[in-house]
Structure 1
Amino acid sequence: MKKLNDAFTALYNGDNILKLTELRYIPRWLVILIDVFIILFSILLSYLLLSKLHVRVNFPEYLTEKRILLIAINIVFMFIFKTYAGVIRHSTFFDFFKILLSSGSTLVSLLLLNYGTEFWLGKSLYLYPNLFLYFFISVSIMFFFRMVTKQFFNILIDIKGSASKIRIAVVGVSDASVSLARAILHNPNYPYRLEGFLTKRSDSHKALLLGQKIYNSDRFFKNTELVGRFDAVLIIKEIMTKHELEEWMTLALDHGLKVLKAPTLSKMRDSDLVGGIRQLQIEDLLNRRPIKIENKDVIVRHAEKTVLVTGGAGSIGSEIVRQVAQFNPSLIVVLDQAESPLYELELELLEKFPEQNFKFVLADISNSYRLEKIFEIYQFSMVYHAAAYKHVPLIEENPHEAIFVNVLGTKNVALLSKKYKVNRFVMVSTDKAVNPTNVMGASKRTAELFVQSLQNSEGNVTKFITTRFGNVLGSNGSVIPHFKKQIEKGGPITITHPDIIRYFMTIPEACELVLQAGTMGAGGEIYVFDMGDPVKILDLAKRMIKLSGFTPDVDIKIKFIGLRPGEKLYEELLSNDATTVPTHHEKIMISKDPTVNFEEIEVLFRQIIKSAVKRDKVQVVTLLKKIVPEFISNNSEYESLDKKQLNGVENLTLEKENNI
């Protein structure tokens, strides 16, 4: 009641819109009172129409009593069907249906009463045309009242919030775009206001769609005044090609408009429109069409099996765990040496997969005694080896640590997989292992060689498989989260070199490759993925700055700091000596890299592990270069080792020539 008083007081005092929109609903007694007035008006109007037609009513001496009876019967059914209970400003067809039931029941009751009076008194109490005329008038006015009230409040809310709403232009005039625009129009509480449509077509500029203009993009972006009436463009990513997405983004950002993305309306059913619309992220431009997983093979490989994931708390490992959990394995053992990330993952997985059996193990893969007990207890069917040190500058400074984890750790997990007859061992490798220029890449290539050598070793029944791919979007320490933090701090964005390029893929996509490789491999293969086109990091940084609403080198500076130790301008997926063999999957290939037999690699492994224990950096890197001949250091303190090796080769060649 207080809210209603405030609202009517506001009408007098002038603060109309604000107070009326604060009125959550019209009180029920007032709705009943208005409906009674509508009933009375409908009765009077129906009698008036009949009188104009010179129709004489029955029992004119009881006219007042007849009207009171009609009102009373209608009120009874209004209470029975609770036509007053709905919130008027949110009326739907269900409310109209309740009005129909109430008025229809009233009509039926009066018709039955008429039959009774005809039987007892010889004529009907009410004229039949009068009853039907009253029914149609009352139903129409009651429903009209609710729709007008609903629209009135929507207009007030729209006016109230118009100043703070984001003025958007929906890109496209397809069914999906129109459905999205309609959803925005029909939800005035959302923080968006539809102001028009944008299209490449030039034949629609005179037409109206949902009451809004359709603008041709070329004319639109040439008109600075027109662009100034908008705050953002809204796109549906799923219905656009990558080229179209980049084109619309560039046009919008170059003209000072934000770029918002929305899923198709069918994907919004689980969440509201506000939750579905977000600002376009750089990941949206880098995402490619994901590979198609052959779920039958993957399910068979994991269902009711015991699975181990090393490095399970990392970016790749944790996603492997999430995807494997969907295939109902009997147990997933998640192993990692990082305590806090492992605990956080445990909380997440237990909530997300309450029916799945997990075991979370805190352990270091370089400790073979600890690992063996785990293999002995759980008797794994599948092992996904994702544990690794991966940060290039840190590993360049601490090469012995790369040997302990990337080399010795891989050796331990792989040998135990062979000993306990694991069905398949799948190793996660990197494109940095190809023609490596740093210790991290060389250590991963060393691990690849050891895993491959086990395939044909004596007594082996395990299928050893390696997957190799490029940079992963959003992984720990990757460039995009790093750039985002720098932008949030106001810059500068630091880039090592203006010409540096990298391949990118999403974390789910990378993990799908790992799972697919686990089903495809016959053993000993290195699988590489079609990574698409490489991305120039400088262009990536500029796009991220623009998407954040800033201007590169004006609001956010870009600073070049030089290549880090061991870093190269571009990564490769295949070594110089490798050839590729296609598989039945168009996006996955087998790299035919040179291999080493197990006896030879085993001797070299013992040597390099001893050097790592002694913390002899130079000896460690020297042995890495012996194991991986294509390892040529770049921008690193170890470049001198390559020069010594080159001088040794030149001296040997010179001696041979002199002897000749």
Structure 2
Amino acid sequence: MKDKLLKFFFWYFGKGALPYWFILCVDSFIVVFSGLFAQVLYAGFYSTVTNIFGITSSLCCYLLAYLVGFRIMHTYNGVIRYSSFVDLYRVAMANLIGVVVVFIVRHLTPIDQVLVPLSWQVLFISFIVATTGMWGIRILVKYVYDIYFVSASAQKVFIYGVKEGGIALAKSIHSQESQFVVAGFVSDDSKDWQHILMGAKIYPNNENLVAKMKQKGATVLMVSPLKTESLRNNQQMIDSLVEAGVKIMLYSRQEWDGKSDLRHTQLKKIDIEDLLPRNQIEVDLEAIGKIFTGKCIMITGAAGSIGSEIVRQVASFKPSQMILIDQAETPLHDIRLMMMHKFVDIPALTLTASISHKCHMEAVFKEYKPDYVFHAAAYKHVPMMEDNPGEAVVNNIDGTRIIADLAVKYKTKKFVMVSTDKAVNPTNVMGCSKRICEMYCQSLNKAIADGAVKGCTQFVTTRFGNVLGSNGSVIPIFKEQIKNGGPITVTHPDIIRYFMLIPEACRLVLQAGSMGNGGEIFVFDMGKPVKIADLAKRMILLSGAQDIQIKYTGLRDGEKLYEELLNKEENTKPSSHPKIKLASVRELGYDEVSEQINKLVEITKDGYNDMDIVRQMKVLVPEFKSKHSKYEVLD
């Protein structure tokens, strides 16, 4: 008997919704039964029984009025097990419509002469009883389904956050067919602890959280969008959850406005990028938009990790024209297609060209006369530039000088150069080349300000560390190594790096470009540094892969244990943006920097003698001390 009841129960509450007609029949029965019950209360049991047929006939006729309400409010179209307060409201309104229709019909027609007249007191009591009965059926079905069906098969989750975001997630789980059931909430505020929210207990966020989750059988932590930043900045919490095998789910979009719909289906399993400590970065989009809207914008290195994101962000401000330059044909073609599909109204010229080809670059400047230049073109891979210092000079240094000089000649308003933390106390050729670019731009800006060079261009440099997901960055490499079964290769157990999301870095580049007056080197607040070995361990845990080893391979040529955003002789001053600081750096005169760069370029023309090239770079940047490199003999 028990087995048959269970079989009927699971059929009744199966994946298919209850037939509409069945819900309608149940509601109709409740209406008629409520009328009889109300008549018993009002007139007595004996009086009701003696005229049961007539009273029932009247109630069945009145039921037609209720059916009008059911139709208008669609009370039988929903799935009962997903009933919400909105559904309860519809039931009440449907019954109210039924009572009103009965009142109108009785007032306008002689129906009471045909049917057994029921007093208005009976109709009122019937309305209350029917509404309560329908509510009760829906709540009971939902409760039974949640307890005996959903709970048996669904994953138990804790929700981190008890404000709007956490409540929205819990409501989403309750109101939709879901493989999850809420077993608890997590709060940082001691005022919330031990309270009950939506039927689940609120637990403290402390060292016992994992134990409580295990005790409740919860294997998933859903994070409210309002608590994402708190999670990222609590590495101890992350480590304990990951090591315990708890799956962490975050909002799949970057931000939530707190008003739009939030569903648990919008959450995604965390990736390592989601867990790196960083604070939300806000920029003045209105001020940036006023500057770039309707202007001609040139972006070099437009197909690279940073350049392509600058393209997307600048395009959103509706410039009059975009000149996109890169020597990588296939990635630039991807940018071309992206502009054609997403920014069809913006004229975009995509040029496969090298910034070191002066004649070609001058022809472009002469024809389009860009108002703003974002210079992101550079060879950036440290080991490659250690082996090819001549290319670092030709592309990074002389290429920057060519674009900068043309910007001045054709009256570009602002030139924004993208630099790197590797330019500070450089230990490799790539970092030194970028430092020389910084020096040239800064000295040229001063020469313009002093009247030594005729022009109006303002030069601004932006300096930041590693960006997540960029070409050749460590995270994609680690993912591929884990996919292949390991080992993960880390150069040194103590090596640390700063990380920032590409969109965040580019927003700050645009912000710095909009607020700089010329000559500044802006340093971005990169947050807390991350030990690469810890990053590798966490990625292994998140992947769920077994027996993945970490192999230490030794520092590469020119590689530092840690990157600096300022050298020892520099200091910073605050700017108008809390995430952007102004660096005070050693400055050289324009004539001196130009002369030294000329010597570098001449050496490359005489043949790529690596030692001669790097020796001259060290003259211009005396703080350049090679590490793990053949050029150490020059120091």
Specify which of 296, 301, 313 is matched with residue 303 of structure 2.
Answer: 313
Verify the 8 A CA contact 2:374 2:417 in the aligned structure 1.
yes
CA distance in 1, matches of 2:53, 2:29: 23
Alignment correspondent of 1:542 = 537
Q: Determine if contact 2:386/2:557 at 8 Å carries over to the other structure.
A: yes
- Please name the residue that 1:637 is paired with: 630
CA contact (8 A) 1:114 1:124 kept: no
Superposed CA deviations along residues 270-294 of structure 1, whole A, max 9, x for unmatched, are: 552222353263543321342x434
Match of 1:272 among 245, 253, 263: 263
Q: 1:569, CA displacement in angstroms? A: 1.9
CA drift at 1:161: 2.8
Matches within 5 A, 1:476-625: 476-549=471-544, 555-613=547-605, 614-625=607-618
Task: Tell me what 1:169 maps to.
Answer: 158
Letter in 1 for 2:363: K
Given the alignment, which residue of 328, 334, 338 partners 1:344?
Answer: 334
Other-structure match for 1:252: 241
Render the CA deviation track for 1:111-131: whole Å, top value 9, x for unaligned: 345456889979983333333
Q: Call closer, same or farther: CA 1:64–1:335 in 2, change over 3 Å.
A: same
Task: Report if the CA contact (8 A) 2:487-2:550 is conserved.
Answer: yes
Read off the aligned partner of 1:137 and give its amino acid letter.
Answer: V
Cα deviation 1:506-543 (Å, max 9, x = unaligned): 32332233223323333233222344443332233333
> Would the alpha carbon gap of residues 176 and 405 (structure 1) be closer, same or farther in structure 2, given more than 3 Å must change?
same
Measured in 2, the distance between the counterparts of 1:234 and 1:351 equals: 35
Asked whether the equivalents of residues 170 and 197 of structure 1 are also in contact (C-alpha less than 8 Å), the reply is yes
Match of residue 420 from structure 1: 410
**Residues 156 and 564 of structure 1: CA distance in aligned 2, closer, same or farther (over 3 Å):** same
**What amino acid is the match of 1:526?**
I
Q: How far apart in 1 are the matches of 2:337 and 2:84? A: 42
User: Does structure 1 conserve the Cα–Cα contact (< 8 Å) formed by 2:247 and 2:269?
Assistant: no
> Within 2, Cα distance between the matches of 1:399 and 1:60?
103
CA distance in 1: counterparts of 2:498 and 2:518, whole angstroms: 26
1:28-73 Cα shifts (integer Å, max 9, x gaps): 3333333333333233333333442666899999556534533445
- Give the distance between the partners of 1:80 and 1:586, measured in 2 at CA: 56
DSSP-derived class of the 2:126 partner = helix
The answer as to whether partners of 1:469 and 1:528 remain within 8 angstroms in 2 is yes
Match of residue 182 from structure 1: 170
Q: How far apart in 1 are the matches of 2:575 and 2:213?
A: 55
Q: How does 1:321-340 map to 2 (within 5 A)?
A: 321-340=311-330
Compute the TM-score of the two structures, normalised by the length of structure 2. Answer: 0.85
Cα distance, 1:389 vs structure 2 = 0.6
Which deviates the most, 61-70 or 482-491? 61-70
Query: What are the equivalent positions in structure 2 for 1:56-95 lying under 5 Å apart?
Result: 66-75=58-67, 78-79=70-71, 83-92=75-84, 95=87
Measured at CA, do residues 267 and 544 of structure 1 come closer, stay the same or move farther in structure 2, by a change above 3 Å? farther
Instruction: Indicate the residue corresponding to 2:183 in structure 1.
Output: 195
5 Å-filtered alignment, 1:47-126, equals 47-52=39-44, 66-75=58-67, 78-79=70-71, 83-92=75-84, 95-96=87-88, 99-100=91-92, 102-112=94-104, 114-115=106-107, 125-126=117-118
1:386 maps to amino acid: A
Identify if the C-alpha distance between structure 1 residues 261 and 60 changes in structure 2 by more than 3 Å, giving closer, same or farther.
closer
For residues 422-501 of structure 1, what are the structure 2 equivalents within 5 Å? 422-455=412-445, 456=447, 457-501=452-496
Q: Which amino acid in 1 is paired with 2:182? A: L
What does 1:140-159 align with in structure 2 at a 5 Å threshold?
Answer: 140-155=132-147, 157-159=149-151
Q: 1:636 to 1:209 in 2, by over 3 A?
A: same
Q: In structure 2, do the counterparts of structure 1 residues 618 and 17 end up closer, same or farther at CA, with 3 Å as the change threshold?
A: farther
Answer with 134-143 or 471-480: which moved more.
Answer: 134-143
Structure 2 gaps of 5+ residues are none
Instruction: Please provide the CA RMSD for this pair.
Output: 3.8
Structure 1 Cα separation of the partners of residues 78 and 489 of structure 2:
59
Whole-Å Cα distance in 1 between the matches of residues 216 and 94 of structure 2? Answer: 52
How far the C-alpha of 1:134 sits from its partner, in A, is 3.0
Residue of structure 1 in register with 2:276 after alignment: 285
Secondary structure, counterpart of 1:26 in structure 2: coil
Distance in structure 2 (CA, Å) of the matches to 1:225 and 1:516: 43
Give yes or no for contact 1:171–1:233 (8 Å, CA) kept in 2. Answer: yes
Shift of 1:371: 1.7
> Taking structure 1 as reference, are residues 324 and 122 closer, same or farther at Cα in structure 2, changes over 3 Å only?
closer
Normalised by the length of structure 1, the TM-score is 0.82
Distance in 1, matches of 2:116 and 2:213, equals 71
For residue 494 of structure 1, report the CA deviation from its aligned partner: 1.3
Task: Output one character per residue of 1:633-659: Cα deviation in whole Å (capped at 9) or x when no partner.
Answer: 2211222333xxxxxxxxxxxxxxxxx
Larger radius of gyration: 1
Letter in 2 for 1:498: P
* Cα 1:99/1:532, change in 2 over 3 Å: closer
8 Å Cα contact 2:32-2:56 kept in structure 1:
no
Alignment pair present for 1:409 and 2:404 = no
Shift of 1:423: 0.5
Q: Which moved more, 1:66-75 or 1:373-382?
A: 66-75
More deviation, 144-153/450-459: 144-153
In 2 relative to 1, CA 409–73 (structure 1 residues): closer, same or farther, beyond 3 Å? same
Kindly provide the amino acid, as one letter, of the partner of residue 387 in structure 1: A
CA contact (8 A) 1:58 1:124 kept: no
Aligned residues: 625
Superposed CA offset, 1:392-449 (max 9, x none): 0111112222222212221221111011010111111112122222111122122222
Gaps in structure 1 of 5+ consecutive residues: 1-9, 643-660
